[in-house]
Amino acid sequence: MSVGNAFAPLPGRFGVLPNLLAGRCDAAIGNNTTTTYSFGGHPAVCLINRAVVSAGTVPASTSGTILGVLQKYDASADAAVALTGNVDLEALVAHEGTAVALLTTLTDAQKTLDIGDTVRFVVTTNNTVTTAAVDLYVNVELLVQN
């Protein structure tokens, strides 16, 4: 059996090196508050391509919602850029990755992770968390450009 070009870059991805930025949300999700998890940056300029969120134990709340948003912190502008819409963490399935689409309105500049920029996941609750998330991860595919 021949492998052929099974591992060759897909069209549109020539000249880039895919990297994975894996972030674990270690701290407990707070009640009635916003909790920010920072995953650091990358030592080269990258394009943020896609993301997956997963949890070993899915968080739950009394009667409200637990929502997460993937953000890029733009160091040059000293501002956060939302990369995704709200991700309903209570709708996750335990031990399964859920693909999170980037906003279609993002410009290339907004999707570019420059040196000094960081990626973070911001979780907001409007009530009491009754089941804590365990092994909550956000994996982000970066395409290294130079």
Q: What is the pLDDT of residue 1?
A: 45
- Looking at the domain assignment, is residue 11 inside a domain? no
Asked, for residue 100, whether it belongs to a domain, the answer is yes
Assigned domain for 2 exists: no
User: Tens digit of pLDDT per residue, the chain (146 long)?
Assistant: 444 554 555 666 666 788 899 999 988 998 999 999 999 999 999 999 999 999 999 999 988 799 999 999 999 999 999 999 999 999 999 999 999 999 999 999 999 999 999 999 999 999 999 999 999 999 999 998 76
For residue 62, tell me if it sits in a domain. Answer: yes
Asked if residue 101 is part of any domain, the answer here is: yes
CATH number of the CATH domain containing 38: 2.60.120
The whole-number pLDDT of residue 13 equals 60
Entry field: residues in the chain: 146
Is residue 3 situated within a structural domain?
A: no
Q: For residue 78, give its domain range.
A: 17-144
Can you name the residues that pair with 137 across neighbouring β-strands?
24, 54
> Is there a domain that residue 8 lies in?
no
- pTM assigned to the model: 0.87
Q: Total structural domains in the chain?
A: 1
